[in-house]
Amino acid sequence: MKIIKRITSVITATAISVCCMNFTQYDYEKNSSIVSSAAELDFKTSINEDGTIAVYGYTGTDEKVIIPPTIDGKNVTAIGKCCFEDNLTIKEAVLPDTIRIIDYKAFANCKNLETINFPDNLETIGDYAFTTCHSLKSIDLKNVKKLDECSFQLCISLEEIYVPGSVATVPDHAFHGCHSVKTLTFGEGVKKIESTAALNSFSIEKITIPKSVTEIGEYALGYYYYHPNYVPFTPTFYVYNNTAGLEYAKNNGFDYVIIDGAETTGFLLGDVNSDGTVNSSDASAVLAEYSAIQTGGASTLSAEQKKAADVNADSKIDSTDASKILEYYAAVSTGKTPSWD
């Protein structure tokens, strides 16, 4: 297995400077409809072509902003372009289940925004929608179908990102400069990860790429930019045999773990004792390691064996991993298709 030299240089990502251009499909100002109830709620609203409401401005001063599901009897389905841009007061946003679109720069530069919910019906997050939301601590993308470029650029407080399989394409700079992210996971169903998708997110330790991914762009993962070059850092890729993820890890010299089987330059996930198979002996080895950790004793495993032991990819070696290894072994023994899911 190839393990690249650890890069210790730490750089600060440079934000992409953009003006509030009209990337939206709808002209909110032109179709402005600031009705009485909207004004009372401190919102500027517009009527969409389908008769629903878009909120495209906020004039209030609350730290917690609650978007209502309806205004004047019409469903609120969109957070319009630049709606909360540069608002340094808002700390929490509560969106109704009716929201389908968060448009261009809707929450851009809301540096104190800490929490926001993403409704089940949300489909699209526009370009730069959350760029420079420095305090945003977590995101649950649920059923989102489309992320646009730079949607979560410079969200420097995020520590974990899961991209659901409903997102077919992860665009350029979607997670650019997310400095604190430790784990980046792409769900089964993601097909394409475009160039520089997670550029400058240099704290990532673990990247999981499913079988469904067929294309990964240049410098998409595992790189930061230090003028004039793209420089690799040292994440571990969790990938499947004969996939674009494995090819990307190999071609770029990254450390990787094969999830679904042995491979000549990798190792078999679950094969803790490195004998080429996954069985009860590996589960016993995990439990021995767990016991040593709990009692403050010395580790019983090498660095590679630890990676093989962490079958649920949660950065811990414990009884859960042992149980999953036994389940995997039972499936193999009974002729079933094994899985770590």
Q: What is the pLDDT of residues 74-89, one digit of tens each?
A: 999 999 999 999 999 9
Q: 303 and 230, same structural domain?
A: no
CA distance 247 to 239: 9
Highest mean pLDDT among 21-30, 141-150, 329-338: 141-150
Residue 34 has pLDDT above 50, yes or no: no
The residue count of the chain comes to 341
Q: 182 and 91, same structural domain?
A: yes
Domain that holds residue 305: 280-333
Q: 236 and 313, same structural domain?
A: no
Q: 287 and 246, same structural domain?
A: no
pLDDT value at residue 192: 98
Domain C-terminal end among 228, 258, 288: 258
Q: Provide the residue type at 251 as one letter.
A: N
Mean pLDDT of the 10-16 span: 36
Residue 97's SS3 state is: coil
Q: How many CB atoms lie within 10 A of CB 51?
A: 9
CA distance 139 to 185: 13
pLDDT value at residue 23: 37
- The verdict on residue 248 lying in a domain is yes
* CA nearest to 308, candidates 269, 264, 260: 269
Helix axes 280-294, 319-333, angle to 10 degrees: 180
Residue 339 has pLDDT above 80, yes or no: no
pLDDT confidence tier of residue 336, bands split at 50, 70 and 90: confident
Instruction: Indicate the pairing of strand 53-58 with strand 74-79.
Output: parallel
Mean pLDDT of the 66-73 span: 92
Per-residue burial over 141-150, b = 16 or more CB atoms within 10 Å of its CB, e = otherwise: beebebbbbb
Mean pLDDT of the 168-185 span: 97
Q: 157 and 61, same structural domain?
A: yes
Q: What is the dihedral of CA 256, 138, 155, 231, to 10 degrees?
A: -10
| Average pLDDT over the chain, rounded to an integer | 86
Torsions phi, psi of 184, nearest 5? -130, 115
Radius of gyration over alpha carbons of the chain, in Å? 23
Q: 247 and 102, same structural domain?
A: yes
Sheet containing 160-163: give its strands across. Answer: 160-163, 183-186, 206-208, 236-239, 255-258
Q: 315 and 240, same structural domain?
A: no
pLDDT confidence tier of residue 299, bands split at 50, 70 and 90: confident
pLDDT confidence tier of residue 300, bands split at 50, 70 and 90: confident
pLDDT value at residue 125: 98
Place of tokens 């674009």: 244
- In tens, the pLDDT along 37-50 reads 665 679 999 999 99
Question: Which secondary structure element, helix H or strand E, spans residue 305, and what is its range?
Answer: helix 303-309
pLDDT confidence tier of residue 266, bands split at 50, 70 and 90: low
- The verdict on residue 27 lying in a domain is no
Q: Percent of the chain at pLDDT above 70?
A: 86
pLDDT value at residue 37: 61
| pTM tops 0.85, yes or no | no
- The verdict on residue 111 lying in a domain is yes
- The verdict on residue 272 lying in a domain is no
Mean pLDDT of the 169-182 span: 97
The better pLDDT of the pair 61, 312 is held by 61
Q: 290 and 239, same structural domain?
A: no
Mean pLDDT of the 252-258 span: 90
Torsions phi, psi of 304, nearest 5? -70, -40
Backbone φ/ψ region at 116: left (φ over 0), alpha (ψ -120 to 50), beta: beta
- Number of domains composing the chain: 2
Q: How many CB atoms lie within 10 A of CB 326?
A: 18
In the chain, the DSSP E strands lie at 43-47, 53-58, 64-66, 70-71, 74-79, 92-94, 101-102, 115-116, 124-125, 146-147, 160-163, 169-170, 183-186, 192-193, 206-208, 215-216, 223-226, 229-232, 236-239, 255-258
Instruction: Indicate the pairing of strand 183-186 with strand 160-163.
Output: parallel
Residue 4 has pLDDT above 60, yes or no: no
Domain C-terminal end among 258, 293, 309: 258
CATH code for the domain in which residue 230 is found:
3.80.10.10
Q: 251 and 285, same structural domain?
A: no
Mean pLDDT of the 14-27 span: 40
The better pLDDT of the pair 132, 271 is held by 132
Q: 235 and 141, same structural domain?
A: yes
Q: 194 and 138, same structural domain?
A: yes
Q: 192 and 319, same structural domain?
A: no
pLDDT value at residue 121: 96
pLDDT value at residue 20: 39
Question: Which secondary structure element, helix H or strand E, spans residue 36, and what is its range?
Answer: helix 36-40
pLDDT value at residue 296: 86
pLDDT value at residue 38: 62
Angle at 127 (CA atoms; ends 123, 129), nearest 5 degrees: 75
- The verdict on residue 264 lying in a domain is no
Asked if 171 and 199 touch (Cβ cutoff 8 Å), the reply is: no
pLDDT value at residue 261: 62
- The verdict on residue 146 lying in a domain is yes
Residue 335's SS3 state is: coil
